[in-house]
């Protein structure tokens, strides 16, 4: 393993927590259809695994945004690089993120989705870096809370590296 990495959540811990989240989501949406919206790229692996555990009818869509400027919500510009294809009016939508940090990305996407008139709109994130939040909103489903450290793996990157790791690790800041 890369010597700059320290495992926070191994494959087994992730698998178990994802299964628990999926069971809870399946119960909450029993008898309903769900549109899962994967927030690229960070949520790619999480969405794939979560969707496989869901026992309700699900469709998948993908959104990719870019953000510029510094890390506070008020000074960041977010633009859509790839929008969803689904007409979500009247549908149950679950936004799937890998990590919520300041909350800027998810706040922007919640606003975008709301304007399109879904029947319901909720958020699931695998990781919640709550200490960094500058925008407040409810997170409906959360995998793990993480402190303010740089995390990589299981979809999350540093300069596009490490996304394919099956575990989530802390990256030594001195190595970046
Ligand atoms: C990361 C992550 C979240 C977002 C969270 O995406 O995947 O979507 O940042 O940060 P925020 O709460 O401060 O907005 P990033 O923009 O790094 O793109 P990526 O998912 O393609 O790596």
Which residue's CA is the closest to the ligand 1 atom numbered 20?
A: 42
Q: Which atom of ligand 1 is nearest to the CA of 132?
A: 13
Confidence of residue 75 (pLDDT cuts 50, 70, 90): low
Cα 128 to averaged position of ligand 1 atoms, centre (Å): 12
111 pLDDT more than 80: yes
| Residue 176 confidence (pLDDT) | 67
Whether pTM exceeds 0.75: yes
Alpha helix positions (H), 65-145: 104-114
Q: How far apart are CA 131 and CA 110, in angstroms?
A: 20
Q: How far apart are CA 152 and CA 156, in angstroms?
A: 5
């Amino acid at each position: 393993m890369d010597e700059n990495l320290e495992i926070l959540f191994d494959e087994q811990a992730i698998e178990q927590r994802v299964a628990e989240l999926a069971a809870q989501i399946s119960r909450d949406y029993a008898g309903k259809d769900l549109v899962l919206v994967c927030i690229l790229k960070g949520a790619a692996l999480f969405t794939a695994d979560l969707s496989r555990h869901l026992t309700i009818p699900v469709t998948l869509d993908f959104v990719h945004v870019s953000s510029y400027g510094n890390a506070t919500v008020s000074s960041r510009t977010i633009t859509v690089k790839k929008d969803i294809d689904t007409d979500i009016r009247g549908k149950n939508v679950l936004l799937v993120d890998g990590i919520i940090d300041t909350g800027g990305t998810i706040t922007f996407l919640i606003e975008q989705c709301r304007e399109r008139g879904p029947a319901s709109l909720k958020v699931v994130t695998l990781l919640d870096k709550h200490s960094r939040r500058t925008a407040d909103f409810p997170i409906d489903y959360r995998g793990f809370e993480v402190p303010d450290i740089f995390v990589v793996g299981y979809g999350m990157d540093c300069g596009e590296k490490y996304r394919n790791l099956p575990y989530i690790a802390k990256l030594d800041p001195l190595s970046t």
